[in-house]
Amino acid sequence: MISSVKGTHDILPGEVEKWQYVERVARELCGRYGYVEIRTPVIEREELFVKGTGGTTDIVQKEMYTFTDKGGERISLRPEATPSMVRAYVEHALEQALPVVKLFTMGPMFRHERPQKGRYRQFHQLNVEVFGQNDPAIDAEVIDLAWSLVAGLGIARAELVINSVGCAACRPKFQEALLAALGDDLPRLCQDCQRRAKTNPLRIYDCKVEADQPIIDRLPHSVDYLCEPCATHFAGVKAQLDAWGIPWRISHRLVRGLDYYTRTTFEVLGETLGAQNAILGGGRYDGLVKDLGGPDRTGIGFAAGLERLVLALPDGSTAAAPARAFVVAIGDDGRAEALRLLRELRQAGLPAQMELEARGMKAQMKRADRLQARIALIVGGDELARGEVTLRDMRTGDQRAVPRPGVVEAARALLA
């Protein structure tokens, strides 16, 4: 047997219903908030992520699936969707094509990480992005959408954390203060942190190494170093969240793992998820569009892990499958008529099945039971001769004969 690739998973019948439910709720909610769907390829040029996600990030340095294709081009499986969304926004001048550029997409992402519960090498995200809008109210709207998704799925005990990481004007001062505060402690931090101190000191806050935590907890907070415009913006975001009654908490450590974030960052944490507790995360990225060769437009968005949303779903939240009919054929004459009726039911919009291998009545009824059919339509020689079909309610066992022309409507009434 050839097994699946490590870190990937099949979404099997029985599980897939939860996915469909999450996708349906997400799609409906995005539509309600005015976000339109976009679908971008899963392969992109490697340089999109080197420039977009950032050449010093763990994602690009350690986790990307990159290969040289037959034409000699360096191609990556997308590790995240934001750079692709920005590329599409610029490439198709969406700013001219759409009245407001508020986009969402859903699909697989690929990162060569160490797999564990809630962390996979192929996983799936819902991505939401807004371009060219600067008011703090849009930050609050995006956060509201994220929060409403979690609430709409009935995921209880989730927490919204927010922070502001400042902008190109104020972040250097914060980084300076950070390195100064680290001072003699720096050599005592882990190897990754030593590297981060050189490449992107903010990322030290992401460190999960136990021994480093007391040192990191003493480091300064980005919100204390914001320039006036960034401070005003962040105050605006918090005020709007309060006005909408959305509960938040500041997490000074929420700097997020990517290079492009500016100002607002946020995450929703789930209590039931264990170590991989971030259900979704996002933030503002005001310089990214320009960095990727586009006009000077701001951006903000988030990515939610669909695996984690599915894991956090309360039991029994997916809708029951629609009631279906099962057609039972007796004898050769019955079979031809039963096949005709089967298609008639389906064409009329009713879920219907039949045992297509010729089997006895008992075996067919057993199959109907296993499929949890609500009704059985029994078509046999005697019934045919009378121009009737027997309709059986599988829950009560009640049976009655129905004239053939009215069978579809009688079935519809029982399945409703």
Residues near ligand AMP, by CB under 6 A: 80, 111, 113, 118-120, 123, 125, 257, 278-281, 303-305, 307-308
Both structure tokens of 47: 């340089």
Nearer to ligand AMP, 16 or 211 (CB): 16
Nearer to ligand AMP, 116 or 347 (CB): 116
Least CB distance to ligand AMP at residue 50 (A): 16
Site of tokens 């003699």: 184
Residue 177: other Cβ atoms inside 10 A: 17
**Distance of alpha carbon 291 from its chain centroid, rounded?**
26
Residue 396: other Cβ atoms inside 10 A: 7
Cα gap 176→183, rounded to integer Å: 11
Cα gap 206→253, rounded to integer Å: 7
Cβ(84)–Cβ(100) under 8 Å? no
Q: Residue 157: what are its φ and ψ, rounded to 5°?
A: 55, 45
**Distance of alpha carbon 113 from its chain centroid, rounded?**
18
Nearer to ligand AMP, 114 or 362 (CB): 114
Least CB distance to ligand AMP at residue 307 (A): 5
Nearer to ligand AMP, 253 or 412 (CB): 253
Residues whose CB falls within 8 Å of the CB of residue 24, separated by 6 or more in sequence, listed in order: none
Nearer to ligand AMP, 120 or 174 (CB): 120
Least CB distance to ligand AMP at residue 160 (A): 13
Least CB distance to ligand AMP at residue 114 (A): 9
Least CB distance to ligand AMP at residue 35 (A): 17
Cβ(341)–Cβ(377) under 8 Å? yes
**Chain residue at closest Cβ approach to ligand AMP:** 305
Tell me the Ramachandran region of residue 263: left when phi exceeds 0, alpha when psi lies from -120 to 50, beta otherwise: left
Least CB distance to ligand AMP at residue 120 (A): 4
Nearer to ligand AMP, 267 or 337 (CB): 267
Nearer to ligand AMP, 214 or 274 (CB): 274
Q: Is 132 strand, coil or helix?
A: coil
Least CB distance to ligand AMP at residue 267 (A): 7
